[in-house]
Structures are given as C-alpha cells and as structure tokens.
Amino acid sequence: MPEPGKPRADTGPSGDGSADTPLEGVDLLLADLDGVIYTGAHALPFAVESINRAQATMRVGYITNNASRTAASVAQHLTELGLRVRPDDVVTSPQAAIALLAGMVPPGSTVLVVGGEGLTSVVEAHGFRVTRSALDAPAAVVQGFHPSVAWTDLAEAAFALRVTDAGPGIPWIATNTDWTLPQERGTAPGNGTLVSAVHTAVGRLPVVAGKPERAIFDAAIERFGATRPLFLGDRLDTDILGARRAGIASVLVLTGIDGPKQVLAAPADSRPDFLLGDLRELFEPYTPPAETMDAEGRLVRAGTASVRVRDNTVRIVDAGESEIEALRAGTAAVWGAGVPIHALDIDPALYS
C-alpha cells in the first residue's frame, strides 16, 4: 500500500513487474454508502457482489456522513441489499459528533438537536438531554441532516448560537457539511446547505465531525483496530480529502457524485490513490501511471492507455482497452503538468 497520495511502484510483491490489486495488503476495507454502495434504495451495479467478495478475506466497515438514520437502520438496509452487516460495522457522523461533544460540555447537559432519530438517539444514548428549543438554555447545538428539518429548526439553532456580550456563544457541532445528497431522482441539498443557512444568520462556523474532517475516520480506525485500511468514496471534497487528512489510502469510484471532469481538476489534497470505474476493479491488477520523456514531451502510460503532454496540450495517444485506463493516464498527466488545469488544452475524450 502506498502512503496516501504517493504513487505505488509498478511491481508486485515478487518484484517481477506484475501489478497488485488495490486490495493488496489491506486489513480493513471502509466504504462510503451513497454513491458507492447504493443510490437511494437501490444497490449500484456490482457493488454488493464486490463487497461480499472482499469480506471473505478482510474486515469491512461502513462510514456515512448521513445523520438521518441510525447505525441499525443503515445495517438493515445494507443487509436487505445482500450484504452481511451488523450495526457495529457502521460508523456514523452522529457517533463522531458525540465524541466531540463529550469533550466540550459536562455529562448530562441539555443539547439542542437539529436532525432526526439518527442523531437524537445517539445524543440520548450518551446521557445528554435533547431539546428543540433555544428557550431551554442548551449547552450546545448539534446539527445533522434529516428530510424533516424545517425553517423553525434552523431558527432555534440560530437563536441558541447567538453571540452576546457575555461570551462567544455555546459550542456548535455539525455532523457533516456535504453540500449535496445523491437521490434516485437526482442531487438534493445536503446538510452543508442547511448548516450554511445557520452560519449566515449567526456569523460563525461549527466544528465538523464527519468527512472531510478526520474525527469520523479516527472513530472507525479505533473501532476496527486496523493498521492498513483502504477507503472507498465517490466524492473528492469529502471522501478523498478526509481520507488524506486521516492518513488513509483511498479509492475514488466513478459511480457517484464526482466524474472525470472533477478528477482531472482535483487539487493535490483531494487526489485518490486509486481510480476505479466500479467496484469489480478492486480485484483487478492495478498498474499505476508511469511517465517517460522524449523529444515530443511527456508520455504517461497506465495499463494499455497512453497520454501525451506537449507544451500546454494533453492528448490521448492510445485509448487502451478501457476508458478507466485512459482516465488514469490522463489524470496523472494533468496532475504532473505543473500548471493549473485552466492553463491546459485537454483532450475532450478524457472527460466527455
């Protein structure tokens, strides 16, 4: 396994030039849910079969920023899709938020909760008293997503978080700040949009428990006792950035939010170690991109595909046997160009 963000040498364990799979040496496979395992109520193609295959040889856990459901309900949903999941296999952003809350307010404090059962059940299970009203003088505000969250809930949070002459205000913890939430009908506003509304009203920012912050990753590593985890995500700005911050190797699978355009433009702190079209490729040899220099410029190869960088142009030379190989070569070419992406003339076939 490479260190996060560092390329792996193009040799297998025997040094014979054969490529390992992304799962080589992994003792814990951590997976995001929306956009990786399912969209809405339905499993994504090849996801369930691939995760079950991995679970035959290693521990599998799940990390979700979605605070609207309990770990038990998430486990039940995944089980109904055909996975073998217990509630303890699921790490939620409310669980990470409670770990932060416990260090900020006394045990048994009253906490104003914006969110649903996925959040309130965790708050209550740790001995805190839940309120929905700022009139109850809460010691903190914890905010998470639920489809039922209304203007009145956001207003109560804003009232509780007001800054007064007596001090800077009570602690505010957001389970996550995902701007969007994938749904069967399309992309819907996520908790980040709702947090932003409160932020605009009160002029302050929350402490964040979920991805891309490392609290949720730290909770998962502690729970599962892993030494060489690999994280599967579909978003650069939460999944991959969060894994990088936590020092965990990462996979971006192109079945969710981010696609080729976003990958090509990914900033250095949000670049995955592996790029997959779907989860079947976890078990296929993964040849990392390699580049050579010649009179015509840089030539970047990934598997059977190759991409040429000459001056400010990036062009496919050989599309290879699959689109994902060409994209792997293209991302390496763009990332290694040493100039901002807007300064490059990129072959449209890489992202269209």
- Kindly list the catalytic residues: 32, 34
Query: How far is 156 from 17, CA to CA, in rounded Å?
Result: 61
Our separate counts of H helices and E strands in the chain read 10, 20
- Token pair 């992406």 in the structure block, residue: 341
Query: How far is 283 from 67, CA to CA, in rounded Å?
Result: 31
Q: Residue 44 in 3-state DSSP?
A: coil
β 249-253/229-233 pair status: parallel
Of the candidates 230, 250, 262, which has an alpha carbon nearest to the alpha carbon of residue 6?
A: 250
Enter the tokens of residue 166: 């007596």
Instruction: Work out the end-to-end distance of the chain between its first and last CA atoms, rounded to an integer number of angstroms.
Output: 31
Q: How far is residue 3 from each of residues 67, 124, 243, 274, 281, measured CA to CA in Å?
A: 30, 39, 11, 12, 20
CB 277 within 8 A of CB 324: yes
For residue 226, the surrounding DSSP H or E stretch is none
Residue 208: beta bridge partners?
174
Per-state percent for the chain, helix, strand, coil, to nearest 5: 35, 25, 40
Residue 232: other Cβ atoms inside 10 A: 32
Query: How far is 343 from 316, CA to CA, in rounded Å?
Result: 18
Of the candidates 238, 237, 302, 232, which has an alpha carbon nearest to the alpha carbon of residue 273?
A: 232
Query: How far is 8 from 116, CA to CA, in rounded Å?
Result: 43
Of the candidates 99, 58, 48, which has an alpha carbon nearest to the alpha carbon of residue 213?
A: 99
